[in-house]
Structure 1
Amino acid sequence: MTQDAQEAIAKANAAHRRAMAMPRLLDYGMDFADATALFARTDAGEPWDAVAAELGRARLAKADVAEGEGHSLTSAGERQRGIAALVFAQMAFNFDIPEKRALYGELVSACAALTRVSDMPFNRCEIPFGGKHLIGWLLRPSTPRADGTVILFGGQTGWGVAYLPVARALARRNLAALLIEGPGQGETRIEQGIYLDADTDAAFSACVDAILDDPTLGAPGIWGNSYGGLFAARTAAHDSRVAACCVNGSFATPGILPFRSAFEQSAAMLGTEDRDAIDANFARLRFDPGTMPIRCPLLVLHGGADPLVDLSDQQPFLDAATGEARLETWPDGDHTIYNHGFDRTTLAADWFAARLSTR
């Protein structure tokens, strides 16, 4: 390998480590030993995507052995750790190049295998929208009927099964979780060709339709993380059927952040590298508290040490609330509170349980 190639890998690895720091790796469910190995091996010069994929495949191979021996709980645990590693492997690529597509295909296959051994009912969902489908995964509690279902999603990079650990916390409170990939995200973008120029409010309302069509899923709530919080707030304001809304670390006024990776992620979500088109689409998605009242209970989560989102960026969501509104902050919390993941998740899960169970 040439020195230029080594330097390029080192530069990319440093950027990946900033975007996917240890708290985030653990929050998404990666095993600590695997996360430590990922950092050590990439520090030594191995490419991030290759190491993360290898660690994930090793977990999935162990899961296959455990499943063959009848140890379904062990197999499920290994698969969940393997899934988390593959999430971070594909995250090394912003655009839907062949490498990302291949890794995302592995991730989807790993999720399909988890459906066989999960200790909680877990299945793939395809929700009709605009002649295509929104793709997601539904985790149900191990009871005949959930007290409610939380539509759970991320923003520009963390989607779908990245929130499987959070979904499990909800399920332990008798809440189902729809791990949806919205416009511009995951398989919905890669395979279905639905980009962020779609009607995001209508897309997430289609998820509400799907929940209400199933009498075993209870009342719908919505929880958006990072830019996903903007989509959650807009949906709650647009759709009166949403019974509770959580916004975690989002901008009310979106825009392209001043980082190369942020531009690429925005471009991938919209399907174009035309900066004017991206800016125009973000302007279209701006949350206006004066015309978008949120009438359902609202929970806003904020990290005081978030390098991307200031509390003032989230204030419009609180200003839009016409009823119950609660702000929870962690003074040293990073973006979407990765570094206090347990406390953040239990607080929000308990909050949803208290509000959806009464509906």
Structure 2
Amino acid sequence: MSGTPSSATLAHQRAMSMTRLLDCGMEFADAQALFQRTSAGEEWDEVAESLAQAQLDRAAHAAGAGCHVTAREAQAAAIADLLFAQMAFNHDNARKRALYDRLVGATQQLCEWSEGRMTRVEVPFEQSRLAGWLVRPRARQALGTVLVFGGQSGWGVAYLPIARALAKRGLATLLAEGPGQGETRMRQGVHVDVNVEAAYSQFISFILNDATLGQPGIWGNSVGGLWAARTAAADARIRACCVNGGLAAPTLLPFRTFAEQAAAMLGTDDEDAIRSNFERMSFRPTRDRIACPLLVLHGGADPLVKLEDQQPFLDAAQSADASLKVWEDGEHTIYNHSAERTAFVADWFARSI
């Protein structure tokens, strides 16, 4: 260890801020240790994985002692640590794949300890399958189910804290890994050169094929907000749509991390191909109309998304129940007001679905 953080570490600390770590379920002590140890020269992925291992050991010990609540909580903390360990790599190298496999294995163990409230989901799409995790409320009959997903780097169980909040309100959550994300990309080879809204509609069909899950809503975060809006415009079965920090007309932003993640999602480093695909996926209110209730969230301090970048979603709203919620000091996807944000949106879905 050099005792000085590398430029890569500083980039990781910017992309995975303390507020983001906590938003996605990392325990404060682990988040603090991750920043302290990487600032002292340790590698980001190695520190995060070691923190995960300590939580996995704590979870296994608790389970062996019959302390099932503690086991589940420690396992969830380990999952958050592994999520950010693999996020140190934008392209799908061997190390990222191995860490993601550990993340999947840890999540499968949490499912086994969940008393049936969390299960793995695989949904057919074209010649492949889409991965996800279904989280149910305590009641057998959910009041509805929210399809939740992220964008270029926050996938699946990154939104487990949101699923818990929805469950408290009687709603189920399907934590989706869509095209270009997680296992759907790394193991199934599905990138964002496909019909993305058709892929998310497959998750909607899964929800509607289970009578205990009720009616579907959709909640997209970051670039995922674009796909949520496009899917809501294309699929009349969706009862409510939330867009959190989305870009209606995405383009290559002047940040290395964003560019590398966009390349990995498309499966090519060709910048012209990435720009062309962003153009193909753009949301146009003259063409894409959203009939269901719509909620758009915006952070005034978001360095990636300006309010005008999200205005097209509001322009496309046909429902009288369309609204904008702004946090003036809000970071990207409102990391720094995560508890308030999640409660606000969860209550809105409980009313709207």
Structure-2 residue corresponding to 1:331: 328
* Structure 1 residue 141, shift from structure 2 partner: 0.5
* Structure 1 residue 144, shift from structure 2 partner: 1.2
Structure-1 residue corresponding to 2:11: 15
* Structure 1 residue 118, shift from structure 2 partner: 2.4
Cα distance in 2 between the residues matched to 1:45 and 1:182: 35
Cα distance in 1 between the residues matched to 2:153 and 2:121: 20
Structure-1 residue corresponding to 2:172: 176
Q: Which of these residues, 35, 42, 61, is aligned with residue 39 of structure 1? A: 35
Tell me which amino acid in the other structure corresponds to 2:327.
W
Q: Which of these residues, 322, 337, 342, is aligned with residue 340 of structure 1? A: 337
Structure-1 residue corresponding to 2:69: 73
* Structure 1 residue 119, shift from structure 2 partner: 6.0
Secondary structure of 1:299 counterpart:
strand
Aligned residues: 352
1:236 pairs with 2:235:
no
- Residues 166-245 of structure 1 correspond to what in structure 2 (within 5 A)? 166-245=162-241
Secondary structure of 1:261 counterpart:
helix
What are the superposed Cα offsets for residues 30-75 of structure 1, whole Å, 9 maximum, x if unpaired? 0000100001100100000100010011101110111111111000
- Residues 137-148 of structure 1 correspond to what in structure 2 (within 5 A)? 137-148=133-144
Secondary structure of 1:41 counterpart:
helix
Tell me which amino acid in the other structure corresponds to 1:83.
I
Runs of 4+ that moved beyond 2 A: none
* Structure 1 residue 120, shift from structure 2 partner: 6.5
Cα distance in 2 between the residues matched to 1:250 and 1:210: 25
What is the TM-score when the length of structure 2 is the normalising length?
0.98
Structure-2 residue corresponding to 1:349: 346
1:124 pairs with 2:113:
no
For structure 1, the residue ranges without an aligned partner over 5 or more in a row are none
Cα distance in 1 between the residues matched to 2:259 and 2:324: 30
Tell me which amino acid in the other structure corresponds to 1:237.
A
Cα distance in 1 between the residues matched to 2:23 and 2:116: 20
Secondary structure of 2:132 counterpart:
strand
Structure-2 residue corresponding to 1:111: 107
Contact 1:120–1:141 (8 Å) recurs in 2: no
- Residues 291-306 of structure 1 correspond to what in structure 2 (within 5 A)? 291-306=287-302
1:268 pairs with 2:284:
no
Q: Which of these residues, 282, 288, 304, is aligned with residue 284 of structure 2? A: 288
Contact 1:156–1:185 (8 Å) recurs in 2: yes
Q: Which of these residues, 51, 56, 75, is aligned with residue 52 of structure 2? A: 56
Contact 1:73–1:118 (8 Å) recurs in 2: no
Structure-1 residue corresponding to 2:245: 249
What is the TM-score when the length of structure 1 is the normalising length?
0.97
Structure-2 residue corresponding to 1:82: 78
Cα distance in 1 between the residues matched to 2:57 and 2:14: 29
Contact 1:120–1:142 (8 Å) recurs in 2: no
For structure 2, the residue ranges without an aligned partner over 5 or more in a row are none
Secondary structure of 1:247 counterpart:
strand
Cα distance in 2 between the residues matched to 1:120 and 1:354: 26
Tell me which amino acid in the other structure corresponds to 2:342.
T
Secondary structure of 1:216 counterpart:
helix
Cα distance in 2 between the residues matched to 1:60 and 1:196: 33
RMSD: 1.1
Secondary structure of 1:347 counterpart:
helix
Secondary structure of 2:123 counterpart:
strand
Contact 1:73–1:119 (8 Å) recurs in 2: no
Cα distance in 2 between the residues matched to 1:32 and 1:21: 12
Cα distance in 1 between the residues matched to 2:112 and 2:189: 28
